[in-house]
Structure 1
């Protein structure tokens, strides 16, 4: 069987290691890991999981920063048919509890820096059977968590030989949690075929080959980094470089250091990079393609002229992978490309699920032409799955329009979610935290434009009668109970929220009003958020 015929993640890793052996695959800081080293290391993790009683279709949550051990954990679980559940390292409190419990995770692999967050929810993790920790374990914290904790270093005591398990392309590879909009975050069930297929698709769209080196600063708990860097590099017989996080000041140094030829981006990142001081080696950076979404057209034009690469954009999401995309050399300003019509049907519908005319705005709806190339459903949420797939089309919750030549143009999110610095934020989950403050009666959270592109988080807050609350206290309260990037920047304390006769909050009116003279700005107040 050739690598191109393999549609299961673990078997792909094993086959590529057989072919390439000691060829470098991963660069992390000053370390280099070969195809074979990652394969054998992930075999050790697979044996360790099996020794702990884990079996095919069990779930493990992973809450780790970018590190080679993340790949060992992910690949090792994939080889046994264990389902990976990536967790955003900023999560804490009720959202963290929900992800671990809703996914039925039996094991949590976590960095020691985040271990303390489990103390607050320790009595609610009823399904968790064990914790594996990367880094020094604080024994005082460990005593407060009623689940056995072991160091990840023990995993390297296990054999390096391959494990045997019958994993099929239709079996689930991962559960990716996406921000809830009218409820709790939903777990997107992604089959193995979807993962490997998307890696191959991105490689095709980016003209990838074995000489490429893909650079990513995006976190491995994001599906973007997993599919569009790691698996794209694997199927292309290429290499990749992994940064711990995004740094505008060291980005181009990394590109030159590793000899990168392609990278992924998010809109705000490109704006930030465009503002970096010019360098003598800008035009010789070596990048062929930058791949992402939401880069402002003027910024894109500036970067392409300055650095000599081509930007490629598309429309995708965790549920569908990529369904619309630019073609190399055939772009239209402001467009996210054309439908990948060998793989998907894509239409624009009105609220009655009727197709809109050319040039009119409608919701993007999608259905696949091949099996197992998108999600199979939302985990443990059958009613949400049915709702999303109503009338036999997956409803994305995003608005777009298209021109007479079939180019699509993203317009806005229909769903009430926000995106700040590349992170998806659920207004429902932010409101849920704010509303638990004893002085708060109710709140409405919504997006306002950011000067960097994408969104900033704003909250309109109604206090209980007779109560007073200063903004700093509320921000501190939020910071302890939600991801740092979700903590509102702007606060308005108002007497009442605008509502319909049926008592539904009219957020569109709050968005129209936006920031006023009376709005409190966390950044102008000099308040620092704890990560």
Structure 2
């Protein structure tokens, strides 16, 4: 167990000094020339330059009519612009709503409509996507790479900086139980990520490599660990397995939130362990974590978390049994229960739903935007109901078993089977369909779509895939399309998925080749 000072999320998160904009402002005042943000493409900002940019972004947003309580949709990759705009919106009291730029069709319409925003800030390649969405009333501001739209703006120092309980942004869930929910997160919940890597393990000499998208919580959390110690954040717009080590070496990165399976899938090189990485945050399982450490020489800290709950459980030391999917133990101040369907705790060794209780309410989501009933249903007497099945072992460690909801986990993304089935089932050639996760050593799971055509020959797999390509974000596009004469049904006429994968001839499924998969997004 680490000392209290190394990981005490409740105390840290509720301290106003650890609210991200306040912490950046403090470093800008005390050491303005200290390096902070670096884009691998070349742009870099010190703490002083970052805070100056945030103050100018505040003016730019105000000039666009943004006021306290407003929402600002963004489609920006991991970049200095994305960081500064987020902090600036928070300083106004507005909420940034980052949206996956690969969303299409009803997924995109939902994400653009739900927040009720009037301003959408995008890179040039995303402007046609928003324009073609059919959503009216959005002022679309295009921000070119390398340009500074705030150059002519005077720094805005008006108003107080946000506090721990204030909302910071809205992050969309993956929509595992229907349309994606907008999760309103406080600054305290982000500050609670400080200590996931014990604070004494890091210093001002450290740099974290961030290659996750900004529409994920994981893409934002490295900022907190580095502003805590005055370290650097190195930003890459999109993950590239072939570029990771080169980036890490060039910029002296000592930690990262890694895509462990994808890095391990890359061909081994004799010098893989010759890198400055010391510690990596991941959620990959003990077996892959050990392989990663053996190959790259960095210690892996495994985390369990979600958009709603933050990161309440950690595994800092490799367990003796590497065949299990361990969640670790609750962090200081968090409590965990394993609950049966009757609402009662189940004994150690038995599976049940994981319920979590934070040190303070603001360390978990404030609400699902516009969904008070769903917000209330997510909690039971202050306990957050995760929807995940786990087992608590007698020693106090928790083992992940499965998701209670119908979800596919692919490259760290949760994919709602029901949401994907709704899109596939709307195709005029499809009479019925089932979406199933296929185990995959790299992705975790790949997506199989089994379809029954309205009449024999009506479904041509590659043509169906091409139609789905236009309607689905990249992470939801199927890896297998299998045409079936029929699908098994329950007594209530629902497709019976239990055991279905074992009954299907996966070898006969159509698969998009690598060229098809890389077809540019339109």
8 Å contact kept, 1:267–1:453 = no
Of residues 213-222 and 334-343 in structure 1, the stretch that sits farther from structure 2 once superposed is: 334-343
- Structure 2 match to 1:485: 475
- Structure 2 match to 1:135: 144
Which of 218, 234, 237 does residue 212 from structure 2 map onto?
A: 218
Query: What SS class does the counterpart of residue 314 from structure 1 fall into?
Result: strand
8 Å contact kept, 1:248–1:276 = no
Any idea what the Cα deviations from partners look like across 1:226-271, whole Å, max 9, x if unmatched? 01x1122112211111112222222111111111111112342243
Query: What SS class does the counterpart of residue 418 from structure 1 fall into?
Result: strand
C-alpha displacement at 1:311, in angstroms? 0.8
Which of 309, 312, 316 does residue 305 from structure 2 map onto?
A: 316
C-alpha displacement at 1:436, in angstroms? 2.1
- Structure 1 match to 2:92: 80
- Structure 1 match to 2:6: none
Distance of 1:456 and 1:441 partners within structure 2: 23
What is the correspondence of 1:59-458 to structure 2 with a 5 Å cutoff?
Answer: 59-122=71-134, 125-126=135-136, 128-135=137-144, 153-165=148-160, 167-198=162-193, 200-204=194-198, 207-227=201-221, 229-273=222-266, 275-279=267-271, 282-295=272-285, 297=287, 299-327=288-316, 333=322, 334=324, 336-390=326-380, 392-458=382-448
Q: Unaligned stretches of 5+ in structure 2? A: 1-11
8 Å contact kept, 1:262–1:290 = yes
Distance of 1:22 and 1:187 partners within structure 2: 37
C-alpha displacement at 1:467, in angstroms? 5.8
Q: Kindly tell me: are residues 50 and 526 of structure 1, through their superposed partners in 2, closer, same or farther at Cα, counting changes over 3 Å?
A: closer
What is the correspondence of 1:5-24 to structure 2 with a 5 Å cutoff?
Answer: 5-24=16-35
8 Å contact kept, 2:391–2:401 = yes
C-alpha displacement at 1:337, in angstroms? 4.9
Any idea what the Cα deviations from partners look like across 1:448-474, whole Å, max 9, x if unmatched? 111314110111112224661211111
Of residues 179-188 and 160-169 in structure 1, the stretch that sits farther from structure 2 once superposed is: 160-169
8 Å contact kept, 1:323–1:340 = yes
Aligned length: 507
8 Å contact kept, 2:179–2:419 = yes
Q: Kindly tell me: are residues 330 and 460 of structure 1, through their superposed partners in 2, closer, same or farther at Cα, counting changes over 3 Å?
A: closer
Distance of 1:242 and 1:514 partners within structure 2: 43
C-alpha displacement at 1:153, in angstroms? 4.1
C-alpha displacement at 1:187, in angstroms? 1.0
- Pairwise CA RMSD of aligned residues? 2.5
Query: What SS class does the counterpart of residue 154 from structure 1 fall into?
Result: coil
Of residues 312-321 and 364-373 in structure 1, the stretch that sits farther from structure 2 once superposed is: 364-373
TM-score normalised by length of structure 2:
0.90
C-alpha displacement at 1:42, in angstroms? 1.3
Query: What SS class does the counterpart of residue 477 from structure 1 fall into?
Result: helix
